Amino acid sequence: MTGCAKRCKQGLVKFAVTLHKLVTGSLIKDKADDDLEMTMVCHRPEGLDQLEAQTNFSKRELQVLYRGFKNECPSGVVNEDTFKQIYSQFFPHGDASTYAHYLFNAFDTGHTGSIKFEDFVTALSILLRGSVTEKLQWTFNLYDINRDGYINKEEMTDIVRAIYDMMGKYTYPVLKNDAPKQHVDAFFQKMDKNRDGVVTLDEFILSCQEDENIMRSLQLFENVI
């Protein structure tokens, strides 16, 4: 009963206040003020020298990279939605959001939910200027969705399906439903040396080093920047 009485009293007070506002003409609820409390997250990267030391890029390259990055994301961080949006623009035929999600997680090494410039530049440094082992390690990290050190068939199927999604519907030859599965089977056939159903980092690196195609392709991306 007391709760009810208290609520009634509160309601009455509110009503009286509203009536007062009605009479004095200041009833307009100003909603605009609420929106101004946007959180302005702003992140500044570490100094140029430090970044140069940590990555394999020169100062000039870092400058160019940062200018582009800052232009796109004035707040200094990229969140997942923006990331997905940006990545999807390169693949207009299909749906790149799933793969972008995995990619985002691979970039976001600290699992903060947003990519800062340092993460961005570190990853790029590995991918473009890193050694073969580093690149393969990064790729393994990408495939290992739950970060448990093993790639199992489900994870691989997810990744492969996400990649096939990016192709879209109109492909030649026509995409069959079991194409991802076949692809995964072929992959495991090659990579899983001890046939235990999972691929570890060492198995992965070893198998890739044996494959000439992969080794050759890894060199192709040296000059992207």
Partner 1 sequence: MAAGVATWLPFARAAAVGWLPLAKKTMPKPPVDNSSRSDEILYLNVSGVRFQTWKNTLDRYPDTLLGSSEKEFFFNEDTEEYFFDRDHEMFRHILNFYRTGKLHYPRHECIQAFDEELAFYGIVPEIIGDCCMEEYRDRKKENQERLAEDTEANESMDAPLPPDSTPRERLWRAFENPHTSTMALVFYYVTGFFIAVSVIANVVETVPCRPPEGRIKDLPCGEKYQLAFFCMDTACVLIFTFEYLMRLFAAPSRCKFMRSVMSVIDVVAIMPYYIGLVMPENEDVSGAFVTLRVFRVFRIFKFSRHSQGLRILGYTLKSCASELGFLLFSLTMAIIIFATVMFYAEKGTKGSTFTSIPASFWYTIVTMTTLGYGDMVPNTIAGKIFGSICSLSGVLVIALPVPVIVSNFSRIYHQNQRADKRRAQQKVRLARIRMAKKGTTNAFLQYKEDRALGGRDSDSTALCVKNRSAFEHQHHHLLHCLEKTTNHEFTDEMTYSELCMTESVGFRTSRSTSLSSQQGAQNNPTGCCPRRARRRAAMRLANSTASVSRGSVQELDTLHIKTTSIPPQTRSSLNAQADNLKLNCGEQDFTAAIISIPTPPANTPDESLPPSPAPIPGILRNTRATAFTHETVKISSL
Q: Does 202 bind partner 1 (CB under 8 A)?
A: no
Among the listed ranges 29-37, 43-51, 81-89, 170-178, the one in contact with partner 1 (CB under 8 A) is: 81-89
Q: Are strands 150-152 and 198-200 parallel, antiparallel or unpaired?
A: antiparallel
Q: Does 179 bind partner 1 (CB under 8 A)?
A: no
Q: Does 167 bind partner 1 (CB under 8 A)?
A: no
User: How big is the site for partner 1, counted in residues (CB under 8 A)?
Assistant: 44
Chosen residue from 2, 24, 39, 89 binding partner 1 by CB under 8 A: 89
Read off the amino acid at residue 144. D
- Sign of the alpha-carbon dihedral angle for 128, 132, 134, 137: positive
CA distances from 66 to 61, 80, 127, 131, 133 (A): 8, 19, 17, 23, 27
Q: Which is nearer to partner 1, 2 or 89 (CB)?
A: 89
Phi then psi for residue 161, to 5 deg, are -65, -40
Place of tokens 């448990």: 148
Chosen residue from 60, 111, 176, 195 binding partner 1 by CB under 8 A: 60
- Distance, in Å, from the CA atom of 164 to the CA atom of 187, rounded to the nearest integer, reads 15
Chosen residue from 51, 77, 123, 145 binding partner 1 by CB under 8 A: 123
Q: Does 201 bind partner 1 (CB under 8 A)?
A: no
- Sign of the alpha-carbon dihedral angle for 218, 222, 145, 205: positive
Among the listed ranges 4-12, 23-31, 33-41, 156-164, the one in contact with partner 1 (CB under 8 A) is: 156-164
Least Å from the CB of residue 180 to partner 1: 10
Q: For the chain, count helices (H), then strands (E).
A: 12, 4
Angle between helices 201-210 and 212-220 (to 10 degrees): 90
Q: Which is nearer to partner 1, 40 or 224 (CB)?
A: 224
- Contact footprint for partner 1 (CB under 8 A): 60, 63-64, 67-69, 71-72, 86-87, 89-90, 103, 106, 120, 123-124, 127-128, 135-136, 138-139, 142-143, 159-160, 163, 183, 186-187, 191, 204, 208, 213-214, 216-218, 220-221, 223-225
